[in-house]
Structure 1
Amino acid sequence: MKTSKYLRTLACGVLLLAAAIPARAQVFPNTYMNVDWQLGVPLDNGFADETSGWGMNFEGGYFVTPAMTVGAFISYQTNLESIPRQTLELGKSAALTTNQKHALFQLPFGVATRYNWLTENVFQPYVGLKLGACWTEMSSYYYVVKQYDDSWGFYLSPELGFSIFPRPDYRLGFHVAVYYSYATNHNDVLTYSVNRLNNFGVRVGISF
């Protein structure tokens, strides 16, 4: 998808910027930034519900207190599923017999907050919460046809994670987090329907 390509390009740019940061410096004082690969596990979504590593997360924030940060995030996740050949009843006088490829694309963005511990240490744990909007596209591909439906919804995602800075005087390290996400989106394609999205996942990346 074009959106995924744009976000991957942005990620490469951020990684290059991070590599250029000199010791004892940050891009902006009293800030943090994360760029993560994301693994998404759908929970009872009922459509394209196979675990997928086609995701990324971008996040940055400002330390309003020594422990509390407020910032912004944007992420994306694509989940895919192959459906064997079957017959779908599309009405009283219509039916479709085909195999399918299902795809569910999620693009949440909004405000991110964190409470951090041990901010001067090598190991820095935190608990966070993301709130915002979520755009989704639910698609079914068969033959050369794509049937899809998109929608907007409210997004909420608590997160537990930590950053590791091997050298505390050098603000470039590793980031690991687990998260749960909930979105109010509703989509319908062919005979399939999704009403609300629940996901569990893991993020692994860099922090600076």
Structure 2
Amino acid sequence: MKKIIITQVLVFFCVISALAQKQLGAISWEMNFPTNNDYLTKTSYRGGKIEYRYFFKKNMSAGLALNWANYEQYLPRQTFQKPDGNSAVTSDFVAQAYQLPITATYHYYFEGGKTFKPYIGVGLGGQYLGQSLYYNVYVTDDNNWGFVARPEVGVLIKPEKSAGWGFLVALGYSYSTNKNDLLNRDSFKNFGISIGFAFGQ
């Protein structure tokens, strides 16, 4: 319930801020594909993004973005060796991960048609990653913060040039330095596709 309330408050302020000129707020659904995690390979359909952009020039904006994604996957029986080599666990597992990057963003917009405005951008900041392995009646958690970089390409689509609302479609890549000692991972990487609503000019 607490997460729902916080999300609603963020959406409210994002939309209200976007009503002013030279500002844009957006909320998007995201689909994410992990790329360097042999223990997590399934696509996550449980993700989203809230963002705010301020146009300090006609074709440039700076802002903030909050993303999230949930991953879950069953792993057949196998052995995980702890990094110190002192012990190992053999079992089938359920792996879960919760990804929460918070970034400062920059976007550059190209001249498009009356309704399409392509753009490229990047977000830099911190990422919280909660990772859990469930086996038998036990669970191993590894929760930490890391640096994250998130380049993306996308397009802003409006029904007409002066419309105060539209759609965003983007393809992004995420690289973070989050670690998982049990699985001997020193990064977390994924591609994402986002589709959402945008409000503002």
Which band: TM-score by shorter chain? Answer: 0.7 to 0.9
Residue of structure 2 equivalent to 1:76: 68
Residue of structure 2 equivalent to 1:117: 110
State the Cα distance separating 1:119 from its structure 2 match. Answer: 7.4
After TM superposition, the structure 1 = structure 2 runs for residues 80-159 of structure 1, keeping only pairs within 5 Å, are: 80-88=72-80, 96-118=89-111, 121-159=114-152
Q: Distance in 2 between matches of 1:108 and 1:205?
A: 18
The answer to whether the Cα contact below 8 Å between 2:155 and 2:169 also exists between their aligned partners in 1 is yes
What secondary structure does 2:95 align onto? strand
Q: Distance in 2 between matches of 1:71 and 1:88?
A: 41
Change (3 A) 1:2 1:86: farther
State the Cα distance separating 1:57 from its structure 2 match. Answer: 0.9
Change (3 A) 1:40 1:75: same
Match 1:66 to one of 22, 40, 58: 58
Normalising by the residue count of structure 1, what TM-score does the alignment of the two structures yield? 0.82
- Please tell me the root mean square deviation across aligned C-alpha atoms, in Å: 2.9
What secondary structure does 1:78 align onto? strand
Deviations 1:19-55 (A, max 9, x none): xx8xxxx512210111111111111223323211111
Consecutive unaligned residues of structure 2, counting only runs of 5 or more, are none
Change (3 A) 1:118 1:206: same
Change (3 A) 1:94 1:161: closer
Change (3 A) 1:36 1:119: same
Match 1:197 to one of 185, 188, 192: 188
Match 2:30 to one of 30, 38, 45: 38
Q: Distance in 2 between matches of 1:36 and 1:48?
A: 23
Identity across the alignment (%): 30
Match 2:175 to one of 169, 182, 192: 182
Aligned AA (1:152): W
Q: Distance in 1 between matches of 2:85 and 2:148?
A: 37
Matched residue count? 198
Q: Distance in 2 between matches of 1:69 and 1:93?
A: 51
Q: Distance in 1 between matches of 2:2 and 2:93?
A: 22
Normalising by the residue count of structure 2, what TM-score does the alignment of the two structures yield? 0.85
Change (3 A) 1:29 1:119: farther
What secondary structure does 1:41 align onto? strand
The answer to whether the Cα contact below 8 Å between 1:49 and 1:80 also exists between their aligned partners in 2 is no
State the Cα distance separating 1:184 from its structure 2 match. Answer: 1.1
Residue of structure 1 equivalent to 2:43: 51
What secondary structure does 2:186 align onto? strand
Q: Distance in 2 between matches of 1:30 and 1:50?
A: 39
Aligned AA (1:28): A
